[in-house]
Structure 1
Amino acid sequence: MGDRDRARERHTIEAMRDLLPEKEPSASQALAVATLLPLGGGLLALAGLTLLGSVIGLALLTPLLLLFSPVLVPAALLVALTVAGVLTSGALGLTGLSSIWYLLKQARGMVQKAPEQMENAKRRVGEAAQAARSRAEETKRA
């Protein structure tokens, strides 16, 4: 039995060596673990305390909530509708302002392009008039 125990122990040691990394962690990795481990633990403790406080507060305030629910439910509904109205108003206001801003930007672009477009229109009208004159002269000659 001694050989089996030694073989099993040797196998366990080899398996543990396979799990361990080949090289040592760097100093920055060790420093990160040393600073983040207490920080993570502290945050986990705060989360637990917050959960405990919430459960105790709920247990203590449940009778008051049941007693005052005929007043609290309409009040909560009123607050919810007011918040929804304010948020909707803000969203519609932002949409209106952005559409007006877009229209102003388009109008500015049109004003800047207007002289070029007028010149093109004048040139086309002149070309059309000249073409009409030449056709009229050709018609007279024929």
Structure 2
Amino acid sequence: MTDQARTGSYGSSYGSSYDTNMNMNMNNNPAPSRQTIKFLTAATIGITLLLLSGLILTGTVIGLIIATPLLVLFSPILVPAAIILSLAAGGFMFSGGCGVAAVAALSWIYNYVSGKYPAGYDTLDYARGMIADKARDVKERAKDYGNYAQGRAQEATHGSTY
């Protein structure tokens, strides 16, 4: 559709005479459409990747066939060694992660205390306010309950003396 010349209601063409000449040249030598080029490119890449994956699979199977007797022969040594190495690597990763988290937390605390207001400071201030409100409520309830218990105790002691 893009190869056809556009015409208005009176038959005049949109654009200049260059556009008309360009469209005539395109009609004389039809070029492959974009969809055909896209399809051919995708098919070429797909077939190449499929062949490469087949070669890699074949190489993996051959390597596994060659290595299987060695793995079976050395498995009493390799399995415990792999377990120990994986535990050691996991320990180092966990230790390093804890160290990074500690440095990040200390940096955040330093920025907060120095007044630089790091990300999340507003949430911390909101939580602090909520905790203070709840503590005040608990204090008032405890005071009310203490007064109530004291009144009940006095009623109980005065009721037994009469």
TM-score bracket for the superposition, by shorter chain length: 0.5 to 0.7
Q: Which structure shows the higher helix fraction?
A: 1
* Alignment gaps of 5+ in structure 2: 1-31, 117-162
Aligned-CA RMSD value: 2.0
2:48 matched to 1:42?
A: yes
| Separation in structure 1 between the aligned mates of residue 57 and residue 63 of structure 2, nearest angstrom | 10
| Separation in structure 1 between the aligned mates of residue 84 and residue 71 of structure 2, nearest angstrom | 17
2:92 matched to 1:101?
A: no
Deviation at 1:69, TM superposition (A): 0.7
Residues 34 and 92 of structure 1: CA distance in aligned 2, closer, same or farther (over 3 Å): same
Deviation at 1:75, TM superposition (A): 1.4
2:31 matched to 1:60?
A: no
| Separation in structure 2 between the aligned mates of residue 32 and residue 41 of structure 1, nearest angstrom | 14
Greater length-normalized contact order (CA 8 Å, ≥ 6 residues apart): 2
After TM superposition, the score normalised by the length of structure 2 is: 0.48
After TM superposition, the score normalised by the length of structure 1 is: 0.55
Residues 49 and 100 of structure 1: CA distance in aligned 2, closer, same or farther (over 3 Å): same
- From 69, 82, 90, the equivalent of 2:88 is 82
2:37 matched to 1:31?
A: yes
Residues 50 and 100 of structure 1: CA distance in aligned 2, closer, same or farther (over 3 Å): same
| More moved, 44-53 vs 28-37 | 28-37
Residues 90 and 29 of structure 1: CA distance in aligned 2, closer, same or farther (over 3 Å): farther
2:106 matched to 1:69?
A: no
| Separation in structure 2 between the aligned mates of residue 76 and residue 35 of structure 1, nearest angstrom | 45
% of aligned pairs identical? 39
| Separation in structure 2 between the aligned mates of residue 39 and residue 105 of structure 1, nearest angstrom | 52
CA deviations on 1:82-128 (whole Å, 9 max, x unpaired) are: 21012112211111011011101111118xxxxxxxxxxxxxxxxxx
* Alignment gaps of 5+ in structure 1: 1-25, 111-142
Deviation at 1:30, TM superposition (A): 2.2
Residue-pair matches, total: 86
